[in-house]
Amino acid sequence: MKKYTFMAVVLGLLLAIVPPLSSIQQVLSQEKTDQYIKEWLSSPIKYIITKEESNTYKKLKIREDKLRFINYFWLRRDPNPQTLVNEFRDEFLRRVAYSNKYFKIGKKEGWKSQRGQIFIVFGPYSEVHKGVTSSLKSYEVWLFYRLPSKNLPSNYALIFIDWYGNRDFRVAYGDYFGKSYFERLRDRSYFMPGSGFMPAEIVSAIEDMKKLSIVNSNLALKDVSVPLMTQPQVPFKFYSLYFQSDETVSQLLLGLNFRYKDIFYQNKGGSKVGPSLAISASLLDEEKDEVDSFSKKVIFSIDSKELEEKKDEKFFLWRSLEAQPGKYLLSIKAEDELAGAKSIWEKEINIPAIRNKELFISKIIPASKIVYSPEIQPEEEILNTIRLMGYQITPNLDTVYDADSELCFFFQLINLQLDPQSAEAEAEIKCHIFKDDKIFQSLKLPNSAFKSRKSDEILASYCISLTDFPAGEYFLIIQAIDKITNKDISSRLNFKVLEKSS
């Protein structure tokens, strides 16, 4: 990251306030900034901020000084200040997002759980063992091969137990010396529910790791400028998928996900309101030359009553960039022109070389609807819809489906070998659906699910009825077999089916 460039903390941590629609234009962006400043210290930041930093922040009274400190906080932890990317912050955001997705307790956000706290500070575990005790209490053992803190040994393990059956796994006391050892001890009083506090050695290690994260300790707060932008960011999530465009160019498909309630609206006549949202993205090569870019104004009208109903829902904008394989800097900007709020997301990426001799399968795009419409031009953009290689896809990136709905998916298979005589490829694609780690359903995709742009490439789309699927967590494996070489490749997708409404 360039020194003294302000990029506020995690987009998803900003709790946007949604005023009544009648007064939505009168709300100043300053109010969101004040809310952001007020809640910053009670966000997941509290897991990585030192006591000294926390005390300093609490003593600050002026909003500009607090914004300066937030800038200073991240710059102290930037491992490479000469670049546009702050690797520490990016990793922190990923860990918070992962915790919210996998460690949620009812309506309680995942980062607030003990597993969330440990994951955010310690990072991903090296191994995990899961099971159920004889008293029917679920447990997880997280094994870490190496942690930066000297307060914990190598091959350190943490035992979490769901004592009350509500998915609120708590750290249990005791050591872990292998699965069989744990099975002998797990039901003894040695493993007792804690009071909710972390064991002393873990607390000590967390404090140690907070200090170790500061790599620019000589940076002084007075040397950090107050950011020019004091307004909050535009919260959004970002998705990326790689597809093959032609023999030399790869396509980077970008999905920007916004919540209706995080955007400001203006009256467009009658009961209609609408946003003015500007989106742009660019790919820069290692010489900082622009390879590809796009700029788009997202303007639509919606009835104010419908907006009130949809305020917690999301809408998507999908665009693509193209480049040859290699390393690039991806820069994405979003600006709410009514609120004066801006967001900048920058990251170094590596676009893979897809066109080679190896069989390749893309990530699966989960969807609620897929239509093959080659006559529709890509520039005819529709909100919440991907136009890709003649397909019109309505994505469902949350992968949560209502009972009696359809699970649809799309993927690309390339580098199939050609039959020497017919000069055609032959492929067989199977779909295996698992529930509770057991096969729930298997099927072979019919030929009608395939489209071919080139002789060694297959585009596949298919929809599965969920009518007979019990509520719960599932995952599907797409297994593609090249029948010429007998080589196979697979891709995985997790999804969830909700209870049927009464």
Clarify whether residues 196 and 306 are in a common domain.
no
Clarify whether residues 344 and 369 are in a common domain.
no
Q: How many C-beta atoms lie closer than 10 Å to residue 222's C-beta?
A: 8
Clarify whether residues 162 and 54 are in a common domain.
yes
Q: Is pTM beyond 0.75 here?
A: no
Q: In the predicted model, what is the mean pLDDT of residues 360-366?
A: 92
Q: In the predicted model, what is the mean pLDDT of residues 368-388?
A: 75
User: pLDDT higher for 447 or 196?
Assistant: 447
Rounded distance between C-alpha atoms, residue 108 and residue 459, angstroms: 40
Query: What SS3 state is found at 45?
Result: helix
Clarify whether residues 184 and 318 are in a common domain.
no
Distance of CA 25 to the CA centre of its chain: 31
Asked if pLDDT for residue 192 goes beyond 50, the answer is no
Query: What SS3 state is found at 402?
Result: coil
Residue 480: φ, ψ to 5°: -110, 130
pLDDT at 376: 60
- The CATH number of residue 265's host domain is 2.60.40.2550
pLDDT at 163: 82
What are all long-range contacts of 135-144, with beta carbons under 8 Å and residues at least 24 apart?
135/187, 137/161, 137/162, 137/163, 137/165, 138/162, 138/165, 138/169, 139/169, 139/172, 139/186, 140/115, 140/169, 141/176, 141/179, 141/182, 142/118, 143/176
Residue 216: φ, ψ to 5°: -120, 65
For residue 326, being part of any structural domain is answered with yes
Buried b (16+ CB within 10 A) or exposed e, 139-148: bbbbebeebe
* Contact predicate 316/395, CB 8 Å: yes
Query: What SS3 state is found at 393?
Result: strand
For residue 228, being part of any structural domain is answered with no
- The CATH number of residue 375's host domain is 2.60.40.1930
Q: In the predicted model, what is the mean pLDDT of residues 184-189?
A: 40
What percent of the chain is modeled with pLDDT above 70? 84
Asked if pLDDT for residue 280 goes beyond 90, the answer is yes
Buried b (16+ CB within 10 A) or exposed e, 341-366: bbbbbbbeeebeebbeeebbbbbbbb
Clarify whether residues 216 and 239 are in a common domain.
no
Q: Looking at 302, 332, 349, which one is the last position of a domain?
A: 349
User: pLDDT higher for 378 or 65?
Assistant: 65
Pairing of β 487-497 and β 400-401: parallel
Q: Looking at 223, 258, 282, which one is the last position of a domain?
A: 223
Clarify whether residues 448 and 328 are in a common domain.
no
Q: In the predicted model, what is the mean pLDDT of residues 368-395?
A: 79
> 80 is in which domain, residue-wise?
11-223
**What is the residue-averaged pLDDT of the chain?**
81
Condensed to tens digits (0 to 9), the pLDDT of residues 432-453 reads 999 998 999 999 999 899 988 8
For residue 467, being part of any structural domain is answered with yes
Clarify whether residues 39 and 178 are in a common domain.
yes
Residue 447's identity, in one-letter code, is: N
Which residues pair with residue 147 across a beta bridge? Answer: none
* Contact predicate 362/242, CB 8 Å: yes
Query: What SS3 state is found at 475?
Result: strand
3-class SS string, 176-221: CCCHHHHHHHCCCCCCCCCCCCCCHHHHHHHHHHHHHCCCCCCCCH
Clarify whether residues 309 and 374 are in a common domain.
no
For residue 3, being part of any structural domain is answered with no
Clarify whether residues 360 and 345 are in a common domain.
no
Greatest mean pLDDT among 34-43, 118-127, 352-361 lies in 118-127
Rounded distance between C-alpha atoms, residue 356 and residue 350, angstroms: 16
Rounded distance between C-alpha atoms, residue 386 and residue 73, angstroms: 38
pLDDT at 311: 83
Query: What SS3 state is found at 133?
Result: coil
**Residue length, the chain?**
502
Rounded distance between C-alpha atoms, residue 356 and residue 248, angstroms: 10
Q: Looking at 314, 349, 384, which one is the last position of a domain?
A: 349
pLDDT at 85: 60
Asked if pLDDT for residue 281 goes beyond 70, the answer is yes
Least Cα distance to 323 among 253, 370, 379, 396 occurs for: 253
Clarify whether residues 249 and 166 are in a common domain.
no
For residue 5, being part of any structural domain is answered with no
Asked if pLDDT for residue 176 goes beyond 50, the answer is no
Which residues pair with residue 450 across a beta bridge? Answer: 460
Contacts of residue 94, Cβ cutoff 8 Å, sequence gap at least 6: none
Residue 183's identity, in one-letter code, is: E
Clarify whether residues 73 and 178 are in a common domain.
yes
For residue 321, being part of any structural domain is answered with yes
Rounded distance between C-alpha atoms, residue 308 and residue 303, angstroms: 9
Condensed to tens digits (0 to 9), the pLDDT of residues 117-173 reads 999 999 999 999 888 877 788 889 899 988 888 888 888 888 888 888 888 888 875
For residue 4, being part of any structural domain is answered with no
Of the pLDDT bands very low, low, confident and very high (cuts 50, 70, 90), residue 34 is confident
Clarify whether residues 214 and 278 are in a common domain.
no
For residue 433, being part of any structural domain is answered with yes
Least Cα distance to 88 among 62, 63, 121, 133 occurs for: 121
Rounded distance between C-alpha atoms, residue 18 and residue 308, angstroms: 10
Q: How many domains are there within the chain?
A: 3
* Contact predicate 493/395, CB 8 Å: no
Of the pLDDT bands very low, low, confident and very high (cuts 50, 70, 90), residue 52 is very high
